[in-house]
Amino acid sequence: MVTVLEHPLVQRDITILRDKLTNTQEFRAAMRRIGRVLACEAAKHIEVRKVTVETPLEMTEGYKLANDVVLLPVLRAGNGLVEPFTDVIPDAKVGYIGLRRNEETLQTEEYYYNVPELHTASLVIILDPMLATGGSICTTLDKMFHSSATRKCVVVSVIAAPEGIQRIVANHPNVPVVTASLDRCLNDVGYILPGLGDAGDRYHGTM
């Protein structure tokens, strides 16, 4: 299942991210705003349990998270989504996976991995602003399903290419994908068009 956000303010902020004249401060602010909307959409996959709470007037029923939620940003661009997601899901734990793309083969290479203990009911929300070839995400999903206890993941991106979506659907058809924009295609070196450039460099001001 692929969900593409359709919200006028998100569309406005996507335009800010795309603009090559947008400075680092404005880029970060737009990323945070989009991230909060993405977090609300991704949170629809969180399970809750009923609890009893006492208001100033009476007892009533309420809800708490039923299971662990673990945010897993793909370094380093994924860091830009951690703050808005923890704003919306303050109970969430945070892990990290470091993947780099080999610019010659376009294959992914892992260089760092540090994730809280996962259980079968844990929900892992994988954060990567740019879903291009889908290589990094599929590598991460393979690791989650083959090397950990978790069986529930959601993929979140700001910009996605059809090629990346197709790769995830082909390899992990039961994993939901939430994105703010589905772009046109990849160019001949694997960058998203029209895209927004390198999200990590633009967010961290290292252009």
List active site positions.
Answer: 101, 105, 198, 201
Tokens found for residue 127: 């954060």
Q: Phi-psi bin for 190: left (phi > 0), alpha (psi -120 to 50), beta? A: left
Beta strands in 7-58 (DSSP E): 48-54
Tokens found for residue 7: 């919200």
CA dihedral 82, 3, 88, 60 (to 10 degrees): -150
User: Whole-angstrom Cα distance, residue 28 to residue 11?
Assistant: 16
Mention every residue, 6+ apart, whose C-beta is less than 8 A from residue 146. none
Q: Phi-psi bin for 195: left (phi > 0), alpha (psi -120 to 50), beta? A: left
Stretch (H or E) spanning 154: strand 152-160
Question: Which amino acid is located at 160 in the chain?
Answer: A
